[in-house]
Amino acid sequence: MAFFKWPFKKRKVESFARNATLKLVPNHVAIIMDGNGRWANSRGLPRFAGHKEGMDNVKRIVKVANAQGIKVLTMYAFSTENWRRPKQEVDYLMKLPKEFLNIYLPELIEENVQVKMIGHRAQLPAHTQAAVEQAIEQTKHNNGLILNLALNYGSRAEIIAAIKAVAGDVSANNINIDDIDEATINKHLFTTDLPDPDLLIRTSGEMRVSNFLLWQLAYTEFWFTDVHWPAFTEAEFVKALDAYQQRKRRYGGL
């Protein structure tokens, strides 16, 4: 796949976005990065151009999230349903994690970011697995922002796998069926060592969760924007964080 020369300038990280003062910062922000193809089409560019610019935007948003003290940033990079796209596009999408990490891993290490991944690794190409595993290994001792990449992830499959694991424990008499609770399920999810998201952001105007973190989003605040992911600036991100300040989370109470 040839690289394109983009007819637009790289944006500088907006200092006011990095330095914005927020009283209530969500611990865990999850983002459905939608609209790469539509962003490219609106500019007369191939879809690959949108995916490339979307990849670069991940780093810009990571920088702001880290500066704001967010603990976990989960990015929906590739779903189990995305395999249905044209092979050429899928092949390109599978190259992006390696390209992203080759470019930005030294900076992520310097900024104390820890890389994690949720999803089924075995189906990913070997080069994608190797790049992600290398990043996880090289950042495992970092204790700053967790950049959690959702690759080949589907929430229904995750929940089914958790149920099967619990059923296996019951069958082996490792647990009594009456003792099964939320913690039992959580133990077998990809996110077992992470808090549930406080804020979900979806770009590009779609208002659905698309098989993303269905169990974990039970009490999450949602924020939707019409802005396509490649155009989702640092200021837009802070706008979402600011909207979170206005929410009162009741968890079913008053």
Q: What is the pLDDT of residue 254?
A: 63
Residues of CATH 3.40.1180.10 domain(s) within the chain?
28-153+199-246
Cα 129 to chain centroid, rounded: 17
**What per-residue confidence (pLDDT) applies to 2?**
35
Q: pTM of the full predicted structure?
A: 0.90
Is 34 marked as a binding-site residue?
Answer: yes
**Do the annotations mark residue 215 as ligand-binding?**
no
Per cent of the chain over pLDDT 90 is: 87
Angle between helices 47-68 and 234-245 (to 10 degrees): 50
Q: How confident is the model at residue 19 (pLDDT cuts 50, 70, 90)?
A: low
Q: Tell me the average pLDDT of the chain.
A: 92
Is 80 annotated in some ligand binding site? Answer: yes
250: pLDDT confidence band, cut at 50, 70 and 90? Answer: confident
pLDDT in tens, 176-219: 999 999 999 999 999 999 999 999 999 999 999 999 999 999 99
Q: How confident is the model at residue 248 (pLDDT cuts 50, 70, 90)?
A: confident
| Residue 84 · residue 125 · CB < 8 Å | no
Q: Per CATH, the architecture of 28-153+199-246 is what?
A: 3-Layer(aba) Sandwich (3.40)
Q: What is the pLDDT of residue 115?
A: 99
Q: Does residue 196 have an active-site annotation?
A: no
How many degrees, rounded to 5, is the angle at CA 104 between CA 40 and CA 51? 15
171 known ligand binder: no
Question: Would the pLDDT of 120 be above 70?
Answer: yes
Sheet holding 114-118, edge to edge: 114-118, 146-153, 72-79, 28-32, 199-202, 221-224
Is 82 an annotated catalytic residue? yes
Model pLDDT for residues 67-104, shown as the tens digit of each residue: 999 999 999 999 999 999 999 999 999 999 999 999 99
Is residue 221 marked as binding?
A: yes
pLDDT > 60? residue 5: no
Confidence of residue 7 (pLDDT cuts 50, 70, 90): very low
Determine whether the annotation assigns residue 229 to a binding site. Answer: no
- Cα–Cα–Cα angle for 211, 216, 220, nearest 5°? 100
Mean pLDDT score, 117-139 = 98
- Catalytic residue selected from 27, 41, 82, 142: 82
Active-site entry in 34, 57, 66, 169: 34
